[in-house]
Chain A
Amino acid sequence: MNLVVPIKLVPDLVEELVIDASGARLDPDALRLKLNEFDDHAIEQAILLKEKGAGQVTVVAPDIEGVDDALFTAAAKGADRLIKLTGNWNNGVNNHALARVFANFVETLRPELILTGVQAHNDLDGAVGPQLAEHLGMPYVGYVSGVVVFDNKAQVRKEFPGGLIAEMDVVLPAVLGIQAAEKPPRYVPISKVRATMKTAKLETFPAAELETAGAPTTVRLFQPETGARATMLAGDADAVATRLVEIFREQGIL
């Protein structure tokens, strides 16, 4: 069975986010990118499925700076093929345009199952997963936290609010948006990733022409206007703890 995992790098939110001179974009030079955490779960889920039966895991990413590390890490975890799509990714691309181009390419891999991360925090026009599904004529289920495959079906656990889970049948081939893998993503030591870099092959394919029209565009980016910010307690851990105990007393918590 062919399992395909498209992966995406997103801004690391722990870093300060800087708006560029245009006022409508994050300054790319100030960004640190990292793998979308849901993709880490999608990769893990794919590898777990591979380990349970025959199957090949292909990880696909746009050829942008920093993506090699993410691909090699996936290989160190057990991914079989690593593919970079070359194209004009520099100016950012909306998800609808991306989904068209990805669908075009992914179709050539004849996947039975495509596992995307359920979403990324910087989308403005919806997740790529359901869009890929439409292009490929496949069903889509997102917010998935567990997958079993048999016959021509995937049995998935889909999350609803409040902790309710639906067990669903999805006819293959299908696209699933992974929220969490069945097990926490495995850890691979850097040394193993380094070793993989020496042996694993990165394949590159050209992406089709991007057609970017039709999507909404950001005219203005801004930090949320905050109402009341928290009163910040100064000092070291000891001073803060002392003050907190007073506050807890005043509030009748202690």
Chain B
Amino acid sequence: MNSDIFVVIEHLRGQVSDISYVMLAAARGMANATGGKVIAVILGHDVETLARDLAADRVLYMEHAAFADFSSDAYQRALEGVIKEHAPRAVLFGDTTMGGDVAAWLSTHLALPLVSACRTFRADAGALKFVSQICGGKMMAEGDLPAPTTLVLMVPGGYKPEQGRAAQAPELARVNAPALDDLRVTVKDYVEPAVGDVDVSKEAVVVSIGRGIQNQDNVELAEELAKALGGVVAGSRPVIDQGWLAPTRLVGKSGKAVKPKLYLALGISGAPEHVEAIGDSEMIVAINTDPAAPIFDIAKFGSQVDMLDLMPVLTEKVQQAKGL
């Protein structure tokens, strides 16, 4: 049985994603427990640059024109052979828009077990256990990592990316890419994120609204509060998907990360995809009627009052305080 831990490095347009370093940090702990090595796998070109600070014992890489952009079809076909050949103890993928398209397909194709939403691993008397974050961050599920080989989709939060960075470049080993003709999934073009009215990532005060806002008419209450505080309104995914705020105002995994002095989260539950983008805020204040909402785990101050009651009163008091 192979005790190595493989990490499929996620990179987009020449940039290694943070989740890759998080996975390398996780893999190191696992490899220490299994006595194996940490092997990074890169599909791409300009591998020297991508690999230069990966905390891995070795890098296996494949180069092919088809890896210039992300194609699930190309990734699936390329990784299939590598996993089959090496049969490592675990293969880690980011539980992201890339890993998510690939790992579940491979696990079905290779008849290997898959663990998703994994946040941390634990070694218990030599056996590896996974802890996955489910139900929007409200529950953790722990279990044994099936042997001999399991594919894992990893979410951020359990390890610091810095722990997956190394001062020295790892050793590189090239593997031949399989034939990748007739890809059924191809990138035609990119649409850059809209540079909108405001850049929420640069604002000092962000008044952020979630599904608790209930309908479009109430958005104005948040606008008034933001104006009084000298900040801007942002929102969670459901609010943007309903069309109540512009896509430029989305905070979270698929939107912007923010680092304001004040992040006022109103009617936001604190799902992992939202929370991962607000951790650098100096102060988070959360208003949510559900006392068990995960947002209270990262907020400094919180209250269970109804946001719709609070917004107009708070606007008025802020205006008074400013002598307006």
Contacts and interface: CB of A to CB of B under 8 A. Distances in A.
Secondary structure of the B contact surface, majority rule: mixed
Contact of A166 (B70, B133, B140, B314): B70
A119 interface: yes
B255 A162 contact: yes
A210 to B, nearest CB: 15
A244 B303 CA distance: 10
Name the residue among B108, B136, B137, B296 with the largest chain A CB count within 10 angstroms. Answer: B108
B188 A155 contact: yes
Contacts of A191: none
A200 interface: no
Contacts of A133: 105
B86 interface: no
Interface in B286-301: 286-287, 290-292, 294, 296-297, 299-301
Interface of A is mostly: mixed
A58 interface: no
Contact of A219 (B103, B142, B254): B142
Nearest to B253: A161
A180 B250 CA distance: 13
Contacts of B30: none
A119 B95 CA distance: 11
A36 to B, nearest CB: 12
A198 interface: no
Interface string A223-236: 11011011111111
Contacts of B138: 13, 17, 223-224
Interface stretch (B46-54, B170-178, B304-312): B304-312
A169 B116 contact: no
Given A124-B134, A223-B138, A184 B242 contact: yes
Range of interface residues on B (Cβ < 8 Å): 35 or more
A124 B306 contact: no
Contacts of A245: 314, 317-318, 321
A91 interface: no
Contacts of B237: 180
B187 interface: yes
A152 to B, nearest CB: 10
B125 interface: no
Interface stretch (B34-42, B59-67, B145-153, B159-167): B145-153
B241 A130 contact: no
Nearest to A143: B97
B140 A253 contact: no
B141 A221 contact: yes
B254 A231 contact: no
B285 A221 contact: no
Q: Which residue among A161, A169, A245, A252 has the maximum number of chain B CB atoms within 10 Å of its CB?
A: A161
A125 to B, nearest CB: 5
B108 A130 contact: yes
Given A168-B188, A247-B301, A216 B107 contact: no
B143 A248 contact: no
Given A223-B138, A224-B294, A254 B191 contact: no
19 contacts: A14-B269, A127-B100, A127-B116, A130-B108, A139-B185, A142-B101, A143-B97, A163-B194, A163-B256, A222-B139, A223-B139, A224-B140, A224-B294, A230-B302, A240-B310, A245-B321, A248-B318, A251-B283, A254-B322
Interface of A: 11, 13-14, 16-17, 26, 37, 41, 95-96, 99, 118-119, 121-127, 129-131, 133-135, 139-143, 155, 157-171, 174, 177, 179-180, 183-184, 214-224, 226-227, 229-238, 240-242, 244-245, 247-249, 251-254
Given A130-B104, A222-B139, A254-B322, 11 more contacts: A124-B134, A142-B100, A162-B256, A163-B194, A164-B193, A166-B187, A220-B143, A222-B140, A224-B294, A238-B313, A245-B318
